A = this chain, B = another copy of it.
Amino acid sequence: MKISTRFSDSIHILAFINIYKGKVPLTSNTLASSIETSPVVVRRLMSALSKAGLINTKHGVAEPELAADPNDISLYDIFLAIEGDAPLFTIDERTNPECIVGGNIQETLNEFYNQAETAAKAKLAATSLEDVIETIKVKHAQKKAAQRKKD
């Protein structure tokens, strides 16, 4: 199955908390404005991030904080928090067991799909939230510079 925007929105939330901490109030409303979704969606994602131990939140207080250094949070940690063990590819589970193919395709594809998934997840595990935040900052600086030039 395709991985939903929940994953990208969660990365968004964590990056936002890190970049804007102390500069703007970190309410679910503020975050929702940046993501352009509803505050409830944000709170739902933050609840999952909190349960996974990636952020610390306090009921009633708009001061969420990262539970670890951005260098120590990988995209795969975030993926796990939000999608758990959701597979990237879907295997058709309902095939005819009487058939040589239908009776063995699941186990077979499971092996090969796992190889592909593990390769992708390894890349996610090798990318830290810090990498994402730095890239965001670089791209932002580039845009600002380009804008100045035009004036």
Interface positions of A (Cβ within 8 A of B): 1-5, 7-9, 11-12, 15-16, 19-20, 33-37, 75, 86-92, 94-96, 99-105, 107-109, 111-112, 115-117, 119-124, 127, 131-132, 135-137, 139-140, 143
Query: Which 6 A/B pairs are nearest by Cβ-Cβ distance?
Result: A1-B2, A120-B120, A5-B92, A116-B123, A119-B119, A104-B139
Residue numbers in B under 8 Å from A105 (CB-CB): 8, 11-12, 15, 136
Minimum CB–CB distance from A17 to chain B (whole Å) comes to 10
Are A2's CB and B5's CB within 8 A?
A: no
Closest to A137 in B: B100
Question: What are 27 A-B residue pairs whose CB atoms fall within 8 Å in the complex?
Answer: A1-B2, A1-B3, A2-B3, A2-B89, A7-B90, A8-B89, A8-B92, A11-B105, A12-B92, A12-B95, A15-B105, A20-B100, A33-B96, A33-B99, A35-B102, A36-B102, A75-B112, A75-B116, A88-B88, A100-B137, A103-B140, A103-B143, A105-B136, A116-B121, A116-B124, A119-B122, A120-B120
